[in-house]
Structure 1
Amino acid sequence: MPLAAEHTGGLLALIPGTAGLLTVAAAGIALLLVLIIKVRLQPFVALLTVSIAVGLAAGLSVTELFGTVQKSDAVSMIETGMGGILGHVAIIIGLGTMLGAILEVSGGAEALSSRLLTLFGEKRAPLAMGLTGVIFGIPVFFDVGIFVLAPIVYAAAKRSGRSILLYALPLLAGLSMTHAFLPPHPGPVAAAGLFEVDLGWIILMGVVVGVPAVLAAWAYAVWIGNRLFVPVPQDMVEAAEEAKAAVLAEQEAAGRAPHEAPVPLSTVFAIIGTPLLLILAATFSSIVLELSTLRSVIEFFGHPFVALTIALLMAYYLLGIRRGWSRTSLEQVSTSSLKPVANILLVVGAGGVFGAVLQGSGVAQALSDTFSDLGLPVIVLAYLISLVLRVAQGSATVAIVTTAGIVVPLVENGGHSQAFLALVIMAISAGSIFASHVNDGGFWIVSKYFGISERGTLKSWTVLESVLSVAGFAVAALVSLLV
Structure 2
Amino acid sequence: MSSIFIILIATAVVLFCIIRLKLHAAISLLIAALLTALLTTPEMIMAFGEQKGMSSAEITSLTHLTVGKRLAIAFGNTSAKIGILIALASIIGTSLMRSGAADRIIRGLLNLFGKKNTSLALLSGSFTLAIPVFFDTVFYLMIPLVKTLTIREPRKFSLYLMTIIAGGVMAHSLIPPTPGPLFVAEEMGIDLGAMIIGGLVIGSITVLAGYLYALWANKRWDLPMRDTADISVKELEKFSLKSTSELPSLSWSLLPIILPLFLITGNTFSSVWLAKDSLAKGVFETIGDANIALFIAAILSLWILWKHLIDQSLFKKYITEALTSAGMIILITSAGGAFGQMLQQTGIGSQIGAMASNYQVALLPMAFVITALVRSAQGSATVAMITAMGVMSGVVNAELTFHPVYLALAIGCGSKIFAWMNDSAFWIITEMSGMEVKETLRHFSALLMVMALAGLVSIMILSTLFPFA
| TM-score with structure 2 setting the length | 0.88
Deviation string 1:388-425 (CA, Å, 9 cap, x unpaired) is 111111110111011111112123142677xx111111
In the TM superposition, residue 76 of structure 1 has moved relative to its aligned partner by: 2.1
Deviation at 1:369, TM superposition (A): 3.9
The residue aligned with 1:106 is 99
Letter in 2 for 1:458: L
Residue in 2 aligned with 1:296?
282
How many Å apart are 1:232 and its aligned residue? Answer: 1.9
Matched, 1:387 2:369: no
Q: How many residues are treated as equivalent by the alignment?
A: 449
Partner of 1:469: 452
Distance 2:236 2:395 in 1: 51
Which residue is 1:71 aligned to?
none
User: Against the structure 1 CA distance between its residues 65 and 229, is the aligned structure 2 distance closer, same or farther, given a 3 Å change threshold?
Assistant: farther
The match for 2:163 is 170
CA distance in 1, matches of 2:91, 2:63: 35
CA distance in 2, matches of 1:45, 1:93: 20
Greater shift after overlay, 303-312 or 117-126?
A: 117-126
Separation of aligned partners in 2, 1:135 and 1:428: 21
Q: 1:244 to 1:378 in 2, by over 3 A?
A: closer
- Segment drifting more, 237-246 vs 209-218: 237-246
- Summarize the Cα distance change of 1:65–1:401 in structure 2 as closer, same or farther, 3 Å threshold: farther
For 1:399 and 1:203, how far apart are their aligned partners in 2? 20
Residue 114 of structure 2: aligned partner: 121
Q: Structure 1 residues 438 and 241 mapped into 2: Cα distance closer, same or farther (>3 Å)?
A: closer
Q: Is the alpha carbon distance of 1:243 and 1:279 closer, same or farther for their aligned partners in structure 2, counting shifts above 3 Å?
A: closer
| RMSD between aligned residues | 2.8
CA drift at 1:226: 2.1
CA-to-partner distance for each residue in 1:195-249, whole Å, 9 max, x for gaps?
A: 111110110100111101100101101111222222223234897457756999x
Q: Are the aligned partners of 1:187 and 1:429 in contact in 2 as well (CA < 8 Å)?
A: yes
Larger mean CA deviation between 408-417 and 307-316 belongs to: 408-417
Query: Structure 1 residue aligned with 2:292, among 301, 306, 314?
Result: 306
Amino acid at match of 2:29: L
Greater shift in the superposed pair: 370-379 or 78-87: 370-379
Q: 1:242 to 1:89 in 2, by over 3 A?
A: closer
TM-aligned CA deviation for residue 288 of structure 1? 1.3
> Match of 1:221?
214
Residue of structure 2 in register with 1:339 after alignment: 324
In 1: Cα distance, 2:457 partner to 2:38 partner: 39
Letter in 2 for 1:25: I
Q: Secondary structure at the match of 1:139?
A: coil
| Counterpart contact for 2:15–2:378, Cα < 8 Å | yes
Greater Cα shift, 180-189 or 33-42: 33-42
- Residues 160, 349 of structure 1: CA spacing in aligned structure 2 closer, same or farther, 3 A cutoff? same
Describe how 1:305-324 pairs up with structure 2 within 5 A. Answer: 305-317=291-303, 319-323=304-308
Paired residue type of 1:380 = P
Corresponding residue of 2:187:
194
How far apart are 1:325 and its partner, in Å?
A: 6.5
In structure 2, the CA distance between the partners of 1:238 and 1:67, relative to structure 1 (3 Å rule), is closer
CA distance in 1, matches of 2:232, 2:6: 50
> 141, 154, 157: which one pairs with 1:148?
141
In the TM superposition, what are the counterparts of 1:273-422 in structure 2 within 5 Å?
A: 273-292=258-277, 293-317=279-303, 319-323=304-308, 329-369=314-354, 377-414=362-399, 420-422=403-405
Contact (CA 8 Å) 2:174, 2:203: kept in 1 or not?
Answer: yes
* Residues 4 and 348, structure 2, Cα contact 8 Å, conserved in 1: yes
Shift, 1:261, TM fit: 1.6
Q: Is the 8 A contact 1:22 1:367 kept in 2?
A: no
Give the aligned partner of residue 133 of structure 1: 126
CA shift at 1:442, angstroms? Answer: 0.9
What's the CA shift for 1:65? 8.9
**How far apart, in 1, do the equivalents of 2:196 and 2:374 lie?**
24
**Residue 273 of structure 1: how far off its partner (Å):** 0.3
Contact 1:163 1:231 in 2 (8 A): no
> Whole-Å Cα distance in 2 between the matches of residues 296 and 77 of structure 1?
36
State whether residues 418 and 449 of structure 2, in contact with CA within 8 Å, keep that contact through their aligned partners in structure 1: yes
Change (3 A) 1:260 1:375: closer
Q: Supply the AA of the counterpart residue of 1:436.
A: A
Structure-1 residue corresponding to 2:37: 55
1:209 corresponds to which letter in structure 2? I
TM-score, length-scaled by structure 1: 0.86
Find out whether 1:205 has 2:188 as its counterpart: no
In structure 1, give the amino acid aligned to 2:442.
K
1:320–1:326: 8 Å Cα contact kept in structure 2? no
The aligned runs of 1:419-430 (5 Å cut-off) are 420-430=403-413
Q: Judge which range, 162-171 or 368-377, deviates more.
A: 368-377
Contact 2:101 2:253 in 1 (8 A): yes
Q: Secondary structure at the match of 2:220?
A: coil
CA distance in 1, matches of 2:18, 2:456: 26
**2: distance between equivalents of 1:239 and 1:40?**
25
Secondary structure of the residue that 1:123 maps to in structure 2?
helix
Whether the 8 Å contact between 1:141 and 1:179 is mirrored in structure 2 is: yes
Matches within 5 A, 1:18-33: 20-33=2-15
* Rounded Cα–Cα distance in structure 2 between residues aligned with 1:152 and 1:477: 36
Separation in 1, partners of 2:9, 2:256: 46
2:367–2:388 Cα contact (<8 Å) kept: yes
CA distance in 1, matches of 2:106, 2:259: 20
Contact 1:64 1:76 in 2 (8 A): no
- Aligned residue number for residue 254 of structure 1: none
Equivalent residue letter for 2:305 = G
Summarize deviations over 1:155-189 as a string: whole Å, max 9, x none. 01112121421111111111102111111100000
> For the Cα contact (< 8 Å) 2:126–2:164, is it kept in 1?
yes
The runs of 5 or more residues in structure 1 that have no matched partner are: 1-11, 13-19, 69-73, 249-256
Worse overlay, 123-132 or 364-373: 364-373
Could you tell me how far apart the structure 2 residues matched to 1:65 and 1:163 are? Answer: 61
Q: How far did residue 258 of structure 1 move?
A: 10
Report the Cα distance in structure 1 between the residues aligned to 2:63 and 2:422, rounded to whole angstroms.
Answer: 32
Aligned runs of 1:217-296 on 2, under 5 Å? 217-236=210-229, 240-241=233-234, 261-292=246-277, 293-296=279-282
Larger deviation, residues 102-111 vs 257-266: 257-266
